[in-house]
Amino acid sequence: MKNYIPKIVLAAVLLGALSIPSFTPKYILHLVIYIMIISIAVMGLGILGVSGQISNAQGAFYGIGAYTSALFSVRMGVSFWASLLIVILFACVVGFVVGLPTIKVSGLYLIMTTLGVNEIIYLIMMNNITLTNGPQGVSRIPGPSLFGFTFKSMPSYFYLCYAFLLFFALLSIRIYRSRLGNYFIAVKNSEIASNMNGVNVVKTKLTAFMISAVYGGVAGALYSGYIGYIHPDNFKTDVSVLFLTMSIFGGQRSVVGMLCATTILTIATEYFRFIGEYRLIAYGLVLILGMIYMPEGIGGKFVQLKNLVKAGKQHDKG
Amino acid sequence: MLFQLILQGIATGFVYALVALGYTFVFRCLNQVIYAQGHIFMVGSFMGYAASTKLGLDAVSTLLLMLLAGVAFGFLLDRVIFRKLYDVATMTFVIAAIGLGIILQNAVRILYPEPVKYPPIFGTRVFRIFNAQIAEPYLWVIAISLLLIAALYCFLTFTRYGQAMRAVASDRTIAAAMGINVKVYISATISLSAAIAVIGGVLIGPLYFASFDMGGMIGLKAFSAAVLGGITNISGAAIGGVVLGILENLSAGYISSAYKDVVSLGVLILMLLFRPHGILGKAKPTKV
Amino acid sequence: MRFGGLSALSKVSFEIREKELFSIIGPNGSGKSTMFNVITGVYTPTEGKVYLRGKDVTGLPPHKLNHLGMGRTFQNPRLFSDMTVLENVMVPLLARDKHYLAGELLSERSRRKNMERLRPAAVNALNVAGLKGKEDNPAGMLPYGDQKRLEIARCYAINPDVILLDEPAAGLNTDERDGINSLIRDINSRGVTVVLIEHDMKMVMGISNRIMVLNHGSAIAFGTPAEVSNDPAVIEAYLGVKEMDDE
């Protein structure tokens, strides 16, 4: 019976969350939806992180997803769901193209390379007017609709994002537990040993990259469908840095950790909005302090807690 | 026209070089790159602006004052932040530096939300060299940079302190065994690197302008320069900077100025993919 | 095998017989590790070829060679430190297992079935390597001697045709060395061809069927332990031989 308690708690939380739209004010609901959307992008970085890679370009994939979905629906009347498939395909392709050369580099060099990629994509978004409307952005993006029902109201969009978030969170957990997850960790720990033990390191790293890109792209599509207007400035490197810090703060291996981190950091910046420009300074301070005192992130703290509990239990037994 | 572009490119190139030198110094010492180097540069630019407008100082005094201010600033950063991060994992250091960059950028933004134009401390004369029009500030930048780089070179090669710094950079454990107080020298390296970046900021002010968000791009370009020249190689950083500046300016002049940033990014990506140790660096094969 | 202008190995040609225990020795810098790296696909040789069971495998990436039955350990153990001991050994088994990923992603039951299917081979390898009972220990926390054993277990789990051991006894004390010695003999007796790089002369002379001596990138001697230890070229190049006998 004891084994079922965490599962019951989890079910309660998940079901309880469904009632959020009914009692939260619009302002907070908006924030919750935003958090759910970007959590998907952040989780994508988590998958990348587990394989030992780091990307400062998630904002670009977020943007690619947003623009692809937006442009297809605005210019060609394609439905949100069909354009979602295109987004996934496109994200895979771009993820492959970007990933293929960058798997050779690691650490800081990878950060800088992906940063460069993000900048290049941003410049294309800004300057290639025929493709993306440039600095005017894309407006009047129709939201997704299903069987005639349009997800225009906030509560309905909440449920939509909830479904997506749940799906991608589950997917992440499954991936981490599968053999692909094992390959990721192996590659992160030692590429040379992985190679020598039958793991195709190149394929593994590329797969991680492409999966991460898809997560980013889907999040972007959800974003453009929600806000209805996008502009290249929404997808600058600042956004990539934001996602990256959230994923590292969350401890990459832990889906719950990343969700917590995203929530906490977003709420922090929102809460501090009243102090205006100082809130970003607070964000930077949180980052620095976090790295000095909690380098494994929130997920790391969970693991430590779990180990403490395990040790305690063994102590009781023995 | 070509010569003018090249000369101007050399000037901006030297600015990149100064920031890149900072990267290289710290990298050799700590095996880390201070991601916030560009933002430190930006702060330096504004400090110089404040000094020359509020205090009405001329070029030389501003530069000297900024040198001191830069060292002090770097020392402060080291004391408060970096000292606790000398031995952490790469990613941890990077995120912390990102945090620092965010703080610096937004702190300056509160004080100076709009880009500012420097007073003409470097003069307004325009010289005709061959058939190119070169404004005085460009010549100042080239001269000061050369002076600074030469001074650094002498310091590192001929003084005891400089040699100790190089010892720490090449092998911390052995340097410690030789009785060198490693922590002090790492601290000094970080301060020095910040000071150079600050001077760089002061130099670019009169060439263009100062704005709170220029740190990111400059940091990235200087990093490209460092990688181009070889991040473990000090002269490489300088040469990389100049080459990058020239390349960038030429493509701005002949191709398009909207996409000129793509040049340095492209260089960075290509270098990292094909020759990560840079033009002058030595390839370090992994020992299996 | 050339690196830039330097020839790390020149015209070294040899054949390893099935099920034998073959050692490569030589002073530091003689090219032993380079040889291993060439054989295991880490380097592509600038000249020459590598054959496995008659098949030309030159230039194949290491993971493919592993699938073909070649295993290798490293001088400094390269374990997957974020995993447990058992998980480490499972990796090569998973990597060559033909089941699809999708099944594991969708069904927890299917994942468990796959793991259960592959587990016995992993546990067996750990037992052979003397790591019984330590399956759930974090690999990063193992004492050095056990780390070396785990590396060997990881190679052995896939039932390889040949394993290359790079200085398996390096850094071990006498007892641990004896342990590794018997482990290597045990594995060899189970039909696995073993290629060894070692500096411990006693061990090498004691267990090898044949030895090749490298110096400055060339093979200077080749033969049984008796032949090699009496070869004047070897004694000259590798002055340590005499001293070792005196130990």
**Residues B81-106 pLDDT 10s:** 888 888 877 778 888 888 899 899 88
Query: Using CA atoms, how far apart are residues B256 and B250, in angstroms rounded to an integer?
Result: 9
> For residue A290, what is the nearest residue in chain B, using CA coordinates?
B96
- According to the model, what pLDDT value does residue A41 have? 94
CATH-assigned architecture of domain B2-274: Orthogonal Bundle (1.10)
C19 part of a folded domain: yes
Structure tokens that stand for B271 in this block: 């270098």
Beta-sheet pairing, C2-3 with C162-166? unpaired
- Please judge whether B288 and C42 are an interchain contact, meaning their C-beta atoms are less than 8 angstroms apart: yes
Q: Which residues contact B227 (CB under 8 A, 6 or more apart)?
A: A109, A112, B240, B268, B271, B272, B276, B278
Give the model's confidence band at A54: pLDDT under 50 very low, under 70 low, under 90 confident, else very high.
Answer: confident
- Please judge whether A285 and B33 are an interchain contact, meaning their C-beta atoms are less than 8 angstroms apart: no
- Please judge whether C37 and B285 are an interchain contact, meaning their C-beta atoms are less than 8 angstroms apart: no
- According to the model, what pLDDT value does residue B41 have? 93
Q: Does C141 touch chain A (CB under 8 A)?
A: no
Q: Does A121 touch chain B (CB under 8 A)?
A: no
Q: Which residues does chain B have within 8 Å of residue A104's beta carbon, measured at their own beta carbons?
A: 272-273
A5 part of a folded domain: no
Give the model's confidence band at A277: pLDDT under 50 very low, under 70 low, under 90 confident, else very high.
Answer: low
C130 part of a folded domain: no
- Residue A1 predicted with pLDDT over 60: no
Q: Residue A3 in 3-state DSSP?
A: coil
Residue A127 is nearest to which of B224, B258, B273, comparing CB atoms? B258
Low-confidence stretches of chain C (pLDDT beneath 50): 241-247
- Please judge whether A194 and C94 are an interchain contact, meaning their C-beta atoms are less than 8 angstroms apart: no
Using alpha carbons only, what angle is made at residue A97 by residues A95 and A101, rounded to the nearest 5 degrees? 110
Whole-number percent of chain B with pLDDT over 90:
6
- Please judge whether A288 and B99 are an interchain contact, meaning their C-beta atoms are less than 8 angstroms apart: yes
Q: In DSSP terms, which residues pair with C71 in a beta bridge?
A: C163
Lowest mean pLDDT among A230-234, B56-60, B226-230: B56-60
Structure tokens that stand for C183 in this block: 């482990």
- Please judge whether A190 and C40 are an interchain contact, meaning their C-beta atoms are less than 8 angstroms apart: no
- Residue A38 predicted with pLDDT over 90: yes
Q: Encode pLDDT of A181-192 as tens digits.
A: 999 999 999 888
Structure tokens that stand for A309 in this block: 């509990």
Q: Residue A187 in 3-state DSSP?
A: helix
Q: Encode pLDDT of B128-180 as tens digits.
A: 777 777 788 888 888 888 888 888 888 888 888 888 877 887 777 778 877 77
- According to the model, what pLDDT value does residue C85 have? 92
The tokens 């009785």 sit on which residue?
B179
Q: Identify which has the larger pLDDT, B252 or A272.
A: B252
Instruction: Give the DSSP letter of residue C213.
Output: E
A100 part of a folded domain: yes
- According to the model, what pLDDT value does residue C247 have? 41
A179 part of a folded domain: yes
For residue C34, the enclosing domain spans: 2-80+144-246
Q: Does B284 touch chain C (CB under 8 A)?
A: no
- The distance of C74 to chain B (nearest Cα, Å) reads 7
> For residue A287, what is the nearest residue in chain B, using CA coordinates?
B99
A248 part of a folded domain: yes
CB-CB contact of A237 with A118 (8 Å): yes
Q: Which uninterrupted H or E stretch holds B266?
A: helix B260-274
CB-CB contact of C64 with A197 (8 Å): no
- Residue B133 has phi, psi (to 5 degrees) of -95, 115
- Residue B122 has phi, psi (to 5 degrees) of -95, 15
- According to the model, what pLDDT value does residue C241 have? 46
- State the total domains in chain C: 1
Q: Encode pLDDT of A150-192 as tens digits.
A: 777 778 888 888 999 999 999 998 898 888 999 999 999 988 8
- State the total domains in chain A: 1
- According to the model, what pLDDT value does residue C1 have? 60
A14 part of a folded domain: no
Residue A288 is nearest to which of B96, B106, B259, comparing CB atoms? B96
Q: Which residues does chain C have within 8 Å of residue A171's beta carbon, measured at their own beta carbons?
A: 105
- Please judge whether B92 and A291 are an interchain contact, meaning their C-beta atoms are less than 8 angstroms apart: yes
Q: Encode pLDDT of A130-150 as tens digits.
A: 777 777 777 777 777 776 677
- According to the model, what pLDDT value does residue A212 have? 94
Q: Which residues does chain A have within 8 Å of residue B285's beta carbon, measured at their own beta carbons?
A: none
Q: Which residues does chain A have within 8 Å of residue B222's beta carbon, measured at their own beta carbons?
A: none
C233 part of a folded domain: yes
pTM of the entire structure?
0.83
- Please judge whether B268 and A116 are an interchain contact, meaning their C-beta atoms are less than 8 angstroms apart: yes
For chain A, the chains sharing at least 3 beta-carbon pairs closer than 8 angstroms are: B, C
- According to the model, what pLDDT value does residue C108 have? 79
Mean pLDDT for all residues in chain A:
83
C158 part of a folded domain: yes
- Please judge whether A278 and B90 are an interchain contact, meaning their C-beta atoms are less than 8 angstroms apart: no
Q: Encode pLDDT of B190-242 as tens digits.
A: 998 999 999 888 888 888 888 888 888 888 888 888 888 887 777 888 888 88
Determine the residue type at B28.
R
Q: Does A283 touch chain B (CB under 8 A)?
A: yes
- Residue B286 predicted with pLDDT over 60: no
DSSP-derived secondary structure for C91-126: HHHHHT----HHHHHH-HHHHHHHHHHHHHHHHHHH
Query: Using CA atoms, how far apart are residues B184 and B161, in angstroms rounded to an integer?
Result: 11
Using alpha carbons only, what angle is made at residue B188 by residues A112 and B53, rounded to the nearest 5 degrees? 80
Query: Using CA atoms, how far apart are residues A67 and A59, in angstroms rounded to an integer?
Result: 12
Burial of residue B121, with CB atoms counted within 10 A of its CB: 0-12 exposed, 13-18 middle, 19 or more buried: buried
For residue A226, the enclosing domain spans: 24-317
Q: Does B282 touch chain C (CB under 8 A)?
A: no
* Neighbouring C-beta atoms of residue C171, cutoff 10 Å: 15
Could you tell me the CATH number of the domain that includes residue C41?
Answer: 3.40.50.300
CB-CB contact of C74 with C80 (8 Å): no
The tokens 């947003």 sit on which residue?
A66
The stretch B8-14 carries a mean pLDDT of 87
- Please judge whether B288 and C3 are an interchain contact, meaning their C-beta atoms are less than 8 angstroms apart: no
- The distance of C112 to chain B (nearest Cα, Å) reads 34
- Please judge whether B102 and A105 are an interchain contact, meaning their C-beta atoms are less than 8 angstroms apart: no
The alpha helices in chain A, defined as continuous H runs, are 4-17, 20-23, 26-50, 58-76, 80-102, 107-127, 129-132, 154-177, 179-189, 191-196, 201-227, 237-250, 255-271, 278-293, 297-317
C59 part of a folded domain: yes
A156 part of a folded domain: yes
Q: Which of C96, C99, C148 is nearest to C121 (CA)?
A: C96
Query: Using CA atoms, how far apart are residues C110 and C102, in angstroms rounded to an integer?
Result: 10
A11 part of a folded domain: no
ipTM score here? 0.85
C51 part of a folded domain: yes
Q: Which of B122, B134, B91 is nearest to B202 (CA)?
A: B122
Q: Which residues does chain C have within 8 Å of residue A177's beta carbon, measured at their own beta carbons?
A: 104, 108, 111
- Residue A294 predicted with pLDDT over 60: yes
CB-CB contact of B95 with B235 (8 Å): no
Determine the residue type at B227.
V
- Residue B40 predicted with pLDDT over 70: yes
> For residue A189, what is the nearest residue in chain C, using CA coordinates?
C80
- Please judge whether A197 and C63 are an interchain contact, meaning their C-beta atoms are less than 8 angstroms apart: yes
Could you tell me the CATH number of the domain that includes residue A88?
Answer: 1.10.3470
The tokens 């003084």 sit on which residue?
B159
- The distance of C26 to chain B (nearest Cα, Å) reads 17
Q: Which of C221, C229, C216, C230 is nearest to C28 (CA)?
A: C216
Chosen for mutation from B26, B92, B108 (greatest number of chain A CBs closer than 10 Å) is: B92
C109 part of a folded domain: no
The tokens 């134009």 sit on which residue?
B117
Q: Which residues does chain A have within 8 Å of residue C108's beta carbon, measured at their own beta carbons?
A: 177
